[in-house]
A and B are shown apart, each in its own frame.
Chain A
Amino acid sequence: MNGIARILRKRWLLYFLLCSPIFYVCTPQIQYDTEFRADPAKYLLDYVGLAATYIFAIVISITPLRRIFPKSGIVNSLAYHRRPMGVSVFVYAFLHFLIYYFYTGSWAEFVKDWEKLFILSGILAFAFLFLMAATSNNRMVRRLGARYWKRLHRLAYPVLFLIIYHQAAQEKTGFRETALIFVPVLALQFWRLVLASKAFLARRNDSANGAE
């Protein structure tokens, strides 16, 4: 394991990085951000939503990165942190959900918005993230059994598409921001599928040859 990978493995560093978006909005500097002053609820809503999105984009890319770079120490350190990172996606999504309540200003407005596909996609993604976070500890893994647990946590893929839609629907023109984050993510997933089908074909060829 090289030096960077070893440092990346430190839990305290991970927790620091995962909390750093919160530290930033707590600095007095934020007072001079006109967008924050103009509408703090809107600012924080976008801010924590984006934090959840970025961390999610990293977590969902860990498996393809492991397949593509199986020997990379950095990727393995990242994989080591997968669970706390996943939970932090839920935490930021929860803050996003909570702030959205304040942004709408009342329970009635809040619920009324759910009929909009844009909002519904976010609510659904949040519900799935909740299920995954609630079953993220060892006890739940044991209780569900590895197979069902794994199946349940494949919810990450519907969440991926819900987040892409949710993020894109929030942009007023074009999909620049969404593309910037998710084109690389989808490219990694695609590459992983290519590798998997190659391995599958190779295995089939092997067994076909063996039968001769």
Chain B
Amino acid sequence: MNIRKSKPWNLPESAATSEGDYLNRRKFLKAVGLGSSSLMGGSIARAATAGFPSTKNENYLSEELEPTDFELIAGYNNFYEFSYDKGEVQKLANQDWKTEPWTIEIAGHVDNPMKIDVNDLVKKIGGVEQRVYRFRCVEAWSMVIPWDGFELSALIDLAQPNSKAKFLKFTTFYDPDSAPGQKGGSIDWPYVEGLTLEEAQNELAFLATGIYGKPIPNQNGAPIRLVVPWKYGFKSIKSIVKIEFTSKQPMNTWQALQPREYGFYANVNPKVDHPRWSQASERIIGSGFFSKRQETLMFNGYEEQVAHLYKDLDLRRFY
């Protein structure tokens, strides 16, 4: 008999909020004067990856994890392609930027390279499921997000990497005309991220096309983004146009910018501080002014699933 053992991060379906949050979100949008046809509402209606019903994956729901309100997930965004200002991204990402249609390219050391429409990709994979993950930003704040999408390993199986493939290099869209942040600044656009093949094959590595059962809002990385919950948020690259299987370790954007502060691995680690602030604890988004910080967990609470990937690695050096 197959008995499913409940793991520490597993939590029941009841934890994945939905209705109340949607209602709140509408109220919120109304209050700030955004009709449903303007901002997110509009983009959701015509977004790519609509029309895939999401089933909750019981292994990745959690009682102890209370999902963050949708309006905060969709309104508090680091997306420097649009703005350095977290509160401005939502507006700017829904002005000129089109996330549909969207083609994603799979290239490099694979037997099955392809350029494929993101909807066709989801169909090929066989639909989406919902997982509730912790999300920890390197800026020492955290959310809990019910993502809809599929395991990255499913895409790897589709691509069929050959023996030369050791890393995955992810690249974001580049379109300065519709993403004003890409017109300048100190970042060398487009944004690039990377994983080792082993990391990418881990059961937790996920490609998200939705949040709370709805297509992912533009500002959260429509139409498809990476989610690697045991790493700091900047590793979870948004709006992916290309996944390349490489033999050399890719140089990710933040490491290129400030190698002393951001590395390739960027695993959540309460024992290794950022040079300018502590990583031992985090502020919970939406918890209010007087709330205490929450202790940050090793690998963001996913130690059991990922610690073996790094058993031979000095995490102080390879931060």
Q: What's the minimum C-beta distance from A165 to chain B, rounded to whole angstroms?
A: 11
Contact A32-B293, Cβ < 8 Å, known A41-B283, A118-B276:
no
In the complex, residue of chain B having the shortest beta-carbon distance to the beta carbon of A29: B32
User: Which residues does chain B contribute within 8 Å of A102, judged by CB atoms?
Assistant: 289-290
Query: Which of B71, B75, B85 is most buried by chain A, counting CB atoms within 10 A of its CB?
Result: B75
- Shortest Cβ gap from A103 to chain B (Å): 7
* B contact residues around A105 at 8 Å (CB): 281, 283, 291-293
Main secondary structure on B side of the interface with A: loop
Q: Is the CB of B276 within 8 A of A169?
A: yes
Which of A39, A105, A169 has the most chain B CB atoms inside 10 A of its CB? A39
B122 at interface, CB cutoff 8 A: no
Residues of B in contact (CB 8 Å), total 36
For chain A, residues 168 to 202, give those with C-beta under 8 angstroms from any C-beta of chain B.
Answer: 169-170, 172-174, 176
Q: Does B307 contact A (CB under 8 A)?
A: no
Q: Which residue of A lies closest to B282 (CB)?
A: A105
CB-based A-B contact count at 8 angstroms: 79
Tell me if A37 is interfacial: C-beta within 8 Å of chain B.
Answer: yes
Contact between A37 and B257, CB atoms less than 8 A apart:
no
Q: In whole angstroms, what is the CA distance A39 to B140 when docked?
A: 11
Q: Evaluate contact between A39 and B292: CB separation under 8 angstroms.
A: no
- Which residues of chain B come closer than 8 Å to A113, judged between CB atoms? 277-278
Q: Which of B48-66 contact A (CB under 8 A)?
A: none
Q: Which of B81-99 contact A (CB under 8 A)?
A: 84-87, 90
Chain A CB within 8 A of B141 CB = yes
B295 to chain A, nearest CB (A): 10
Question: Are B72 and A38 interface neighbours, CB within 8 A?
Answer: yes
Q: Interface majority SS on A: helix, strand, loop or mixed?
A: helix
Chain B, residues 248-279, CB within 8 Å of chain A (1/0): the string is 00000000011000000000000001011110
Interchain nearest-CB distance for A133 vs B (Å):
26
Cα–Cα, bound, A38→B276 (Å): 22
Q: Which of B32, B80, B141, B258 contacts A39 (CB 8 A)?
A: B141
A34–B275 alpha-carbon span in the complex (Å): 28
Is A103's CB under 8 angstroms from B87's CB? no
B positions within 8 Å CB-CB of A: 28, 31-32, 71-72, 75-76, 80, 84-87, 90, 139, 141, 185-187, 257-258, 273, 275-278, 280-281, 283, 285-286, 288-293
What are the residues of chain B within 8 A of A109 when measuring CB–CB?
278, 280-281, 293
Q: A35-B85, A39-B141, A105-B291 are in contact. List 16 more A-B contacts (CB 8 A).
A: A32-B28, A34-B72, A34-B87, A35-B86, A39-B285, A40-B289, A41-B289, A102-B289, A106-B293, A109-B280, A109-B281, A112-B278, A113-B277, A117-B276, A118-B277, A172-B139
B257 touches A38 (CB 8 A): no
* B-side contacts of A42, CB under 8 Å: 141, 283
Q: For A172, what are the chain B residues with a Cβ–Cβ distance below 8 Å?
A: 84, 139
A116-B276, A173-B185, A173-B187 known; A35+B293 contact, CB < 8 A: no
What A residues does B80 contact at CB under 8 A? 173
Considering only residues 49-90 of chain A, those with a C-beta below 8 Å from chain B are: none
Interface check A104, CB cutoff 8 A: yes
The distance in angstroms between the C-alpha atoms of A14 and B286, with both chains bound, is: 36
Contact of B185 with A38 in the complex, beta carbons under 8 Å? no
Q: CA of A152 to CA of B162 in the docked complex: distance in angstroms? A: 70
